[in-house]
Each structure stands twice: as C-alpha cells, then as structure tokens.
Structure 1
C-alpha cells in the first residue's frame, strides 16, 4: 500500500496516534479513486480508527429512552462515515471537532425517529414536549386539569394547534394488541383481544420475498452497475448527477440503468 501504512489492528491504535494517522489517511482519501482497493482501505481504516469518537458520543445517550447501545453505536458510525466523506482538510479544522456534531446529530435523529410509536412531524413532537410542561405547570397553579383554551393562552398558540398537538401526542406510546376488548387490561370474560378483531394481511408483505430474492442478484452485478444503482436509489442522485460523476452523458446513464433493471426483473421472474 503506497504512502499509507498498513494497520493490522486499528483497535490497538492510541487516540493520539489515531488523530495523526487520520490526517494522513484523509489527505490520501481525497486523491484516491473511489471504488479502488486503496480507496476502500483508506476509508475503512478511518472508520475503524475513529470508533472511539462514536463510543464517546454514544455514552451521552446511554440512559436515554429504550435505545439499545449496539443500535446507537451503529447509528453513530453512520454519522462518522458522513463526516469522513464530507471532511475538507483545507478548512484547517480538527477532524474530531468536525465529526462529533455529525455523530451526535445522527444519534439524535435516530431517537427522534424511533422513540415515537407512530411517527409524527418534528413540529408536533416538539409541541408535545411543550404541552407536557404546560399541563404540569397549569395543573399545579389551577389545581385541576387545564382546558384547551388555557393551554392555548399559556403557549401563545391557537386552540386548533393545541388540539392537533394533543391528538398527535397519542402516537408517543402504543397499546398492546393483547389487551382485552375493553382496553382496561382486565379480562371481560370473552377472552377476545384487540388483535382478534383488528388487522388484515398486508399486501406489501410480498415485498419481503422480493428483497430476499434481489440480494443475490445484486451481488452478481459488476462494480459499475452496483455503483450506479447505489447512486440512483440509495443516494437518490439524478441521472444528470450520475453522468457528471462518471463522466458520461445522461442518456448513457439512462441506458445503463434500463439495461440493469431489465436484467434484474428478468432474473427475478425466472427464479419465481
């Protein structure tokens, strides 16, 4: 590996040494061609050497919610990868200072998107927190539960906004489908639960089989075909952007995509 030291065990690299080595690897990463063995080595080594940053950031969220630490570390690593891909040495900023906000931001986004039993807009999630504090404060002052009008006045919002926030707050937690029909947690003698009378077969369940069938077929594609699919459907780049990165026309990208997708569809139909 020219110009880059071979690191057999990144876990044994001291944090101080990791900072120095990261500068070297980041500098080389910017001039290496994406997709090459050298590029993958430099990028993967940077990710592994800087796992201490992920663990440092993740420890701040150890006792928050019900998030499993392994999940938090994985999400934090996604933030680290984004920091590596977007870091610019010319800014003369320490990589650790640049990476931590990306890691923490990714973890916060994870909690924001997974803590609620039903996903609601960020605006309503924040409104729920304000409502909880306002209800506690007004309940103490009034010695009773506040009305919608009183909450609206306290938070300087309209009554419609308060009602919307209260309805959305119902999505924070979910009741069990194993509860008896009366919803109180006490048996009503019928033995019937909510699961017995709610729900139906999800037609989208068939997609799971398609995803399983698609995996091995993707592995049979060459590096360029997989890269184009990744840019189009994972990174959500336009055909023009893909063409600019590959140095080909948008029309050529369109033909490559159509050819690859047609081959995948044909292979899936053949297997089924």
Structure 2
C-alpha cells in the first residue's frame, strides 16, 4: 500500500507541476490510476489472498500484475512527465540512465521478451511455482520479476515515452508475434500439464483464463504497435508517439504529446539524437 501511495503521489505532484506549462492529458492520469489499481488488486485484497491457494486466482493476479497493469502504466507516460517536471539536473540524470548500456540491453525487444515469456515458462514448468507459495521471499521476488519483466517488455514494444534505444518496427512486430505464440502455447500446455499440487480442474480453468485473457491484452498490444506505425491513424497521437522519421502533416500545429516535442523540451534535450 505504501508503494502504491508513493507512486500515485509522485505522479499527481508531477501533473500539478506540469500545469505551469500546460495541461497534462487527463486520460494519462486515468491510465496511471487504473494501472495502480491493477497492482493493488494483485498485491492486496481477496484476489491476492485467494491466489495463494487457487490456481485460477493466481492466473488473475498474473494477468493484472504482468500484463494489464504494466500496459496501463506505460501508456500513462511517466518518464515524459518526469522529464518535463523534474529540475534540469535531475532530468539530465534520468536521461543518462535511459542512454546507459544496461538499459539499452534490457529494453531490447528480444531480451525483454525472453525475460518475460521465459520467466513464465520457468515458473510453471519447474518447482519454482511450489517454492513461491512456500517461501515468502521467493513469492515477493517472483511477483517483482513478473511485474518488472512485463513493464520493460511493454515499454520496449509500444511505450510512448522517449526511448533512445527503440528498435525498428519490424523487429518489435516479429518479437511481439513470437511472444504471443509462446504465451499461447504455455496456456495450452498448462491446460494438460498443471503444476505439481494443483487441482486439475482448477488448473484447466486457470489455463483458460491465461489463454483468453492474455489474448485480449496481446491483441491490444498489437493494435497499439500498428497504430503507432501506420501514418494515417488518428488514434496514434493519443497513446503513442509519431515516428520521428516521418514529418508531420501540419508542421504549423505539432502535437504537444509527440516524441519530437518531448525530445525538444529543455529538460529532456539529452534524449534527442546527436
């Protein structure tokens, strides 16, 4: 609860500071709050409690913590908000972190997809699933990995925030299709091969939730990825940045929420290409 409260407060303070420059899109604030609600439901409350003994509830936590929550948080563009509202010195520090070699490696679509999908395969095909329910420390570490891997993967695929290491559209599209395939195969595999100690009926219900629920979120990722690439889409400017290599159709009225605008901001200048 403390982590969620800090995340909410920090974002709202950033929105308040941004008001001196102009209004921050309300839908992004709504997305941030909705993402935190997903994390809260996965960490605290009846669903989180039921996940300790029920596989279907566990899968509900997985969808909220590793897929839907990260998607909503990424679309809220927290890095853009930070670069616009932090003091210049702190904004430059954030920029240096984004340009660092470790971030370049972690945010590469292939690495992010392996950490995300590979971690799930390790969790459900080894003794790690039983161990996480027996050891609280392992339980926390697994949840942290599921969330962070989902967050990094989503940001690498369709993140609206400035990303100096963003891969090409073709690379992201291929990786996303392969990730969806790996996620779907895992759902089918769990339907017939439940983890040790899980009731077969509960396992089948959980596998169906993972398969169909994951398909909906994966479809949303695909739509957002192609929306950000297709130059004629009107919806692109709301959630995703324009491709900086493509000139605006109306240069006299650029969108304030585009990647080019954020890169030209004095506090995010280091993110602009040399």
TM-score normalised by L of structure 1:
0.22
Higher relative contact order (CA 8 A, sep 6+): 2
Query: Quick check: which one's helix share is greater?
Result: 2
TM-score normalised by L of structure 2:
0.22
